[in-house]
Amino acid sequence: MKDTELALFLNLIEQQSFTATAKHLGISQPRVSETLARLEKKLGQKLIQRGSHVARPTPAGKKLIPYATQILALKEAAFNELTHLEEKAIRDLTLAASSLPGNYILPPLLARFYKDHPQIRPYLALSNSAQACEQVLEGKAEIGLVGAKLRLSGLRWKTWKKDRLVLILAPSHRWKERPSIALEELAGEPLLLREDNSGTKKVILQRFQTQGFTRGALNLVAELGGAEALKKAVAQQMGVAIVSLASVEEEIQRGQLLAKEIRHMQPERDLFIITARRKKLSPAAQLFHEFLVRQT
């Protein structure tokens, strides 16, 4: 049985007329009769009663109706499933991010993206800016999000968002009542910094150098891996630190840390989206890249 024969049979049942069926399907009435005759010959049964102005199913025709309906519905479902198989398949999205975007900016964005694209499964590797760049260059991640622009060939850099740097203090620090602190005052203060290859650390040292302070002139007491370690050390009065405002908003609201503006230092820095120059993004990565760009 051909699906066209079954479809014509069901149309006859619905229209209850050879003439109406021919008009509905856009074919001639003799062709309706010929198609029905072929189907009846294959099945060895009369399906439509003749000799009446109304086309009614025979007992055999009545038995065929649910099967014909199911066969055509299954065919349509299979066609739709296979046609959109690529769209419906779970697709992996590999991402690399430094501490700030990975911990504080990306999670809510990924949640929003997932609501619209539940078929895409993200994998996010957290590291520092240099390591995130390496992962994109090596093909371990398709998209990276970092807080400093490094001198590396083979990457596309797109300015994404603005980040704001602030000085954080313990609530009992002697500067607690002051609205802002001059950059030169920080030179002699016990200072905590991120580890090497951190984008935040790179930017901070560049800002000090712009004002004539080399790394050797700073009272550097520790280098810690990650914003969370810095925040806990500052809260325990080990020193002060310069971090992204986005990373300390909750602690500030709870009164666990204080945030101060730094005079004579540009407070804003750029965050970047990075991709490999010689590699084409997968459909999932391209979709997420377009989504990120809209969030600027």
- At 2 the pLDDT is 83
- At 201 the pLDDT is 87
Q: Max CA-CA distance within the chain?
A: 108
**Is position 164 within any domain?**
yes
Q: How many domains does the chain contain in total?
A: 2
More confidently predicted of 95 and 215: 95
Same domain, 229 and 162: yes
- At 227 the pLDDT is 85
Whether 5 shows a pLDDT value over 60: the answer reads yes
pLDDT digits (tens, 9 = 90+) for 66-117: 999 999 999 888 887 776 655 555 688 999 999 889 999 999 999 999 999 9
CATH number of the domain enclosing 61: 1.10.10.10
Lowest mean pLDDT among 87-91, 213-217, 263-267: 87-91
What is the overall mean pLDDT for the chain?
A: 90
Same domain, 124 and 246: yes
Q: Whole-angstrom Cα distance, residue 103 to residue 246? A: 10
Same domain, 163 and 205: yes
Amino acid making up residue 157: W
- At 45 the pLDDT is 92
- At 296 the pLDDT is 74
pLDDT digits (tens, 9 = 90+) for 112-165: 999 999 989 999 999 888 899 999 999 999 999 998 888 888 999 999 999 999
**Is position 49 within any domain?**
yes
Residue 129 Cα distances to 2, 120, 195, angstroms = 61, 25, 11
Here the tokens at position 93 are 């999205």
Same domain, 224 and 117: yes
Q: 83, 104, 121 — which closes off a domain?
A: 83
Domain that residue 18 falls in: 3-83
Band (pLDDT 50/70/90 cuts) for residue 211 is: confident
Lowest mean pLDDT among 74-88, 151-165, 196-210, 271-285: 74-88
Q: 30, 57, 83 — which closes off a domain?
A: 83
Q: Whole-angstrom Cα distance, residue 136 to residue 158? A: 14
Output the pTM of the full model.
Answer: 0.64
**Is position 13 within any domain?**
yes
Same domain, 136 and 180: yes
Residue 15 Cα distances to 24, 49, 57, 58, angstroms = 8, 14, 12, 15
pLDDT digits (tens, 9 = 90+) for 159-183: 999 999 999 999 999 999 999 999 8
- At 84 the pLDDT is 63
